[in-house]
Structures are given as C-alpha cells and as structure tokens.
Chain A
Amino acid sequence: GAGVSQTPSNKVTEKGKYVELRCDPISGHTALYWYRQSLGQGPEFLIYFQGTGAADDSGLPNDRFFAVRPEGSVSTLKIQRTERGDSAVYLCASSLDREETQYFGPGTRLLVL
C-alpha cells in the first residue's frame, strides 16, 4: 500500500513569507507526527496528533509554527514569517497508534532565502 507522502518535496521561499507543508499519512493510522531535521543531525520532534487533536505540541519552536489535522487524516504544518533558521527538512510520520512503529515520509526540504 501507499506510504506516507509529503508535498511539496522542495520549497524555496523568502524570509518573512508564509508556507504550508502537507502530509498524507498511511490510511488508517490514527497517530501522526512532525519532525524537523537539520543537516548532519537526527530528526527533532515537533508535534504529535492523535486523531484530530494535537496531543503534544511541545516541540514547536515558537508561535510562528502551527499544525492542523482537521479530519484526522491529512495534516498541514504552517510556518508564518519564515526565518532563515527555519531551513531544514520537515519530516512527517504516522503510526497505527501511539507506541507503534512510526513510518516516515520522504520529507519536505524547506529553504528560506
């Protein structure tokens, strides 16, 4: 079956702009996660959804970052007033339920100029 998909695969934007990153999890997976990976580092946790609700958003770096999952499937990560330091690969993962194996998407490479 289809894995986790993310769009766009690459995004180049200018400092100060708004961006949206989309994640389509594996069908039937109730848990969805966003991570951010900088060059040479491992992924860092941003937010976890169980169903439609954000159960843990403790990893979001500041209030410019927001994520939604209105119907419990697709999720969108939104970044306002982008800064150069936001440049990274944004990874989405999903799992059947919490504590189950997480399956990662290919990521969106965000470059803020």
Chain B
Amino acid sequence: SQKIEQNSEALNIQEGKTATLTCNYTNYSPAYLQWYRQDPGRGPVFLLLIRENEKEKRKERLKVTFDTTLKQSLFHITASQPADSATYLCAQSNDYKLSFGAGTTVTVRA
C-alpha cells in the first residue's frame, strides 16, 4: 500500500532562513500532493496543492515541488518567521481520500 514519509526530525531554523521539508511516497504517483499546516490543538489548514503534471507551485513565501522520478515533494518556506512555527503535513490523494504523513515540526527562532 502507498506510504507517505516525511522527515521525522524536527526542524529548527533561524528567522529569515529557508525551511525545506521533504515528503516521499513509496509506490504509485498520486494525482495530487497537498500540504497542510497544523498548530497545537487545532485541525490542519490547507496550504497548497500540486498536481502530478505540475513541477512547481507558489503561494506568497511558500513553494512546493513535485518530482515523480524521485517520488518526492519538497515544501519550502522562504524568509521564515517565528509565526511559521507549526507542524506541516503532507498528504497524497487520487480522489477524495487524503493519506497523510506523520508531519514535520518546524520551529523558527527569532
């Protein structure tokens, strides 16, 4: 079955730097990869969706890439701010059902 793997170690970075998070899938290429942000005690909040035939997507300081050869998506937060501190979840879907990775916790130091 398809597995979604995210770098399990927490990421600690200095304000202003770029955070790069990795999401790998094991088998077939999903139709979509989605990235969500989750704060403690809250539900996930949708950030970006990238389709199988798209290489890159941007939204403000966020950038997502999708490499079907490497079976990987990278999520970048540029010019990071302490307010970006949260857990970021990667999810794959082919239709309506989302399959999530365990998430990567990012802490941005001022």
Contacts and interface: CB of A to CB of B under 8 A. Distances in A.
Contacts of B97: 45, 48, 56, 59
Nearest to B91: A42
A40 B98 contact: no
Interface residues of A, number: 26
Interface string B15-48: 0000000000000000000001000011111100
Contacts, number: 52
Interface in B92-110: 95-103
Interface stretch (A14-22, A69-77, A78-86, A99-107): A99-107
B100 A43 contact: yes
Counting contact residues on chain B (CB < 8 A from A), the size range is: 20 to 34
A48 B102 CA distance: 21
Contacts of A91: 43-44
B102 to A, nearest CB: 5
Contacts of A56: 96-97
A26 interface: no
Contacts of A110: none
Interface in B63-110: 89, 91, 95-103
Query: Shortest 7 CB-CB distances between A and B: which pairs?
Result: A42-B100, A104-B43, A98-B96, A104-B44, A45-B97, A101-B46, A43-B100
30 contacts: A4-B43, A31-B96, A33-B98, A40-B102, A41-B102, A42-B4, A42-B89, A42-B100, A42-B101, A42-B103, A43-B44, A43-B89, A43-B98, A45-B97, A45-B98, A48-B96, A48-B97, A55-B96, A56-B96, A59-B97, A95-B96, A101-B46, A101-B49, A102-B46, A103-B46, A104-B36, A104-B44, A105-B43, A106-B41, A107-B43
